[in-house]
Amino acid sequence: MQELKKLNWNLQSGISELSYWHRYMEREDFAVTVQPFFRNTFIPLNEREGLDLTFFSEDCFYFSDRGHAEMAIALWNNMLEPVGWKTSSNNFIYNRTKLKCPSPERPFLYTLRNSQLLPDKAEEPSNALYWAVPVAAIGGLAVGILGVMLWRTVKPVQQEEEEEDTLPNTSVTQDAVSEKRLKAGN
């Protein structure tokens, strides 16, 4: 029996560690929350001070209808208790009045997040530089405009140089022009 308790404790500890994984604590649409109602539970005694086997099936391994009903009530009640305030034992009194109901102020199942055991994301200071994206966008736009303007001013100068290189030598000296005029006049 002691070995079974140790195995049960190791399983519960492993599941509890799993619930504190960062990837589960950050999500708002999913939560892993340990319900410890079975952690410190003892098998109740009957009138003769022996184990009350009416909580178990005939093979004494599985729960009977009565055992399932008690476990369901304990699980439901645990889900309606805030993390850190959950009941870790079960009182096996066959009484339906111990069933809890959600309150109008808190009509939900408790998780780490809504038990206010985690810092609220809105309150956490952001490490991101909120101004970096607009500055980078404006800087990129300015560099782009400057690049286009520079390209447009350099392009015509390059075209003129290319045209001069491709045209035949048409430079005429002043003397040659004067000579032609004289000949034409005669």
More confident residue, 173 or 10: 10
- What residue spans define the domains of the chain? 2-98, 129-169
Residue 184 pLDDT level (bands cut at 50, 70, 90)? low
Q: Which helix (H) or strand (E) holds 175?
A: helix 174-185
What is each CA distance from 38 to 83, 86, 95, 154, in whole angstroms?
15, 11, 18, 81
**How many C-alpha atoms does 107 have within 13 Å on its Cβ side?**
2
Give the model's confidence band at 90: pLDDT under 50 very low, under 70 low, under 90 confident, else very high. confident
Number of H helices, E strands in the chain: 5, 0
In whole angstroms, what is the distance from residue 149 CA to residue 174 CA? 39
d(CA 154, CA 149): 9
pLDDT at position 113, please?
80
Residues 100-153 have pLDDT tens digits of 899 899 898 988 888 876 655 544 555 656 667 777 778 888 888 888 888 888
Task: Summarize the chain as % helix, strand, coil (round to 5).
Answer: 50, 0, 50
